[in-house]
Structure 1
Amino acid sequence: MSKSTKVSNPNAKGGSGFIWAVVAVIAIAAVVIGYIVMSGQGKKTEHLADRERVDVAFTSDFSDNAVTLRADNARADAPEVDLYEDFSCSYCGQLAENTDAQMQAAIEAGDLVVNVRTLNFLDRGNVDGHSTRAAAAVLAVAESGETDVYWNYRAALMEEQADIYNKWSNDDFADAAKQLGASDAVVEKIRSGENVEAADALAAVNAEKLNAETGSVSSPRVIQDGKDVNSPDINQWLDVVLG
């Protein structure tokens, strides 16, 4: 009489142990991937901690859809201008680099008042576009009254525009603000993205104002008394305004 041979399932015994081993491997992989993602995210902005900070001697008041930069000793007859800029505009970035130092000096001397008016027309209606999210981040700082942070943050976003355009998430904008000294409340407001719709609405109002006064919307623009500052080179607008 022949003996039957029973073939057993190799996974029949210890099957639960095998499943738990797979789960553990997946969990470890998730942790590693998360660590890599978080580390990479931090590296996008960690260099800003070494950026030279500029201290300013003027105040920033966020109202009427603009950030007004004015010194406490501003002359009663100091000229006042509206500076229109878009965080996706390379010419705006160049203008900021070329004229911010001179503008700061004039404001601090009490010789100039500037209303910085943010636009987002280069997003072409995309509320998640770079212009709008950058504006939301900067305006969150402006609303807090953290003037030094505002001035340095705005400058950093303008100067590094080519490297960060359409590459930063709300987390990146928040991390950058933190590196530049923004308060925890402001950082978390930026991270949440709660200010994006408000920034989009603000930019739309500014575009309407610019169009009503000049008949067109573009950037950068410097408007005084409802008209473009008459300068053949916009990089020399301060010389014209200050006379």
Structure 2
Amino acid sequence: MSKSTKVSNPNSKGGSGFIWAIVAVVAIAAVVIGYIVMSGQGKKTEHLAERETIDVAFESEFSDNAVTLRSADAKADAEVVDLYEDFSCSYCGQLAVNTDEQMQAAVEEGDLVVNVRTLNFLDRGSIDGHSTRAAAAVLALAEAGETDAYWNLRAYLMEDQQDIYNKWSNDDFADAAKQFGASDETVEKIRSGENVEPTNALATANADKLNTETGSVSSPRVIQDGQDVEVADINQWMDVVLG
């Protein structure tokens, strides 16, 4: 006599229990993944809490596709320049390291007014590139009038460019801004990425302006009266401009 094989109905109570077991495993996995993501958020910028920050004694005005750095006591004959920079440009980073302190002093003394014009041509047309997203974070601070946070975040993104290039999300930029004292409103604006597209348009306009005035787009550049400041070493541009 042959034995009959009984096939279980997957819709029976036994099958139902198996399905619920799978659901439970998936739910636990989701919780674990969520915990890992949440616990990891902010880890990339925790060290910024220990970083020495700089308090500046000048104002920043966001207009005409630029951040204008000007002392409240700027002299009537203060020299005015356009500084073009790209957050993916290593030479821009080196220029910031070498000259930001001198530039800050000259602006605070009222001898110099600087229009910082952000470029993103090194993103090569990608709106999600590092240059654009870094600029969006920094410009959000300038637009909100949070000058100290703007200056410190810009300095960090330039000085530590090699360590963070193409590794940060909007969350990371937002967390960094928070570490530098940005308001909750501005932090959330950075986190949402809502000003990334406008920043791309701004950077494109700056590139067009630079190309119209000089016939080429590159960085870093210091422009005065529509022409490049003539200097053998761009790190010495203030010596030429300020005489």
State the TM-score, normalizing by the size of structure 1: 0.93
Alignment-derived partner of residue 176 in structure 1: 176
Q: Which runs of 4+ in 1 moved over 6 A?
A: none
Tell me how large the CA RMSD over aligned residues is. 1.9
Pairs within 5 Å for 1:137-152? 137-152=137-152
1:221 matched residue in structure 2: 221
The superposition leaves residues 204-225 of structure 1 with CA deviations (integer Å, 9 ceiling, x where unpaired) of 1111111111111100001111
Alignment of 1:126-205 (within 5 A): 126-205=126-205
Q: CA deviation at 1:8?
A: 7.5
Q: Deviations over 1:7-28 (max 9, x none)?
A: 5749854443332222122111
2:26 is matched with 26
- Is 66-75 or 6-15 further displaced after alignment? 6-15
Q: Which residue in the other structure is 2:51 paired with?
A: 51
Separation in structure 1 between the aligned mates of residue 38 and residue 101 of structure 2, nearest angstrom = 35
Percent identity of the aligned residues?
79
Between the aligned partners of 2:57 and 2:87, the Cα distance in structure 1 is 24
Structure 1 partner of 2:120:
120
SS at the partner of 1:88? coil
For residues 108-150 of structure 1, the C-alpha deviation after alignment (integer angstroms, 9 at most, x for no partner) is 1111100000001111111111111111111111100000000
| 2:208 matches 1:208 | yes
Q: Helix, strand or coil: the match of 1:68? A: strand
> What letter corresponds to residue 216 of structure 2 in structure 1?
S
In structure 1, how many angstroms separate the alpha carbons of the residues matched to 2:74 and 2:95? 24
The two structures have a TM-score, normalised by structure 2, of 0.93
Q: Unaligned 5+ residue runs, structure 2?
A: none
Residues 16 and 107 of structure 1: CA distance in aligned 2, closer, same or farther (over 3 Å): same
Q: What's the CA shift for 1:91?
A: 0.4
Q: Which amino acid aligns with 1:23?
A: V
Separation in 1, partners of 2:202, 2:79: 24
Long gaps (5+) in structure 1: none
Q: Which residue of 2 aligns with 1:238?
A: 238
Alignment partners' CA distance in 2, 1:152 and 1:20: 52
| Cα distance in structure 2, aligned partners of 1:194 and 1:8 | 57
- Measured against aligned partners, the alpha-carbon deviations of 1:185-233 in whole angstroms (never above 9, x if no partner) come to 1111111111111111111111111111111110000111111111111
Q: What secondary structure, in the 3-state scheme, does the structure 1 residue paired with 2:114 have?
A: strand
Alignment CA distance shift 1:5-1:126 (3 Å): closer
Cα distance in 2 for partners of 1:37, 1:159 equals: 27
Q: What is residue 100 of structure 2 aligned with on the other side?
A: 100
Partner AA of 1:22 in structure 2:
I
CA–CA distance in structure 1, aligned partners of residues 7 and 240 of structure 2: 92
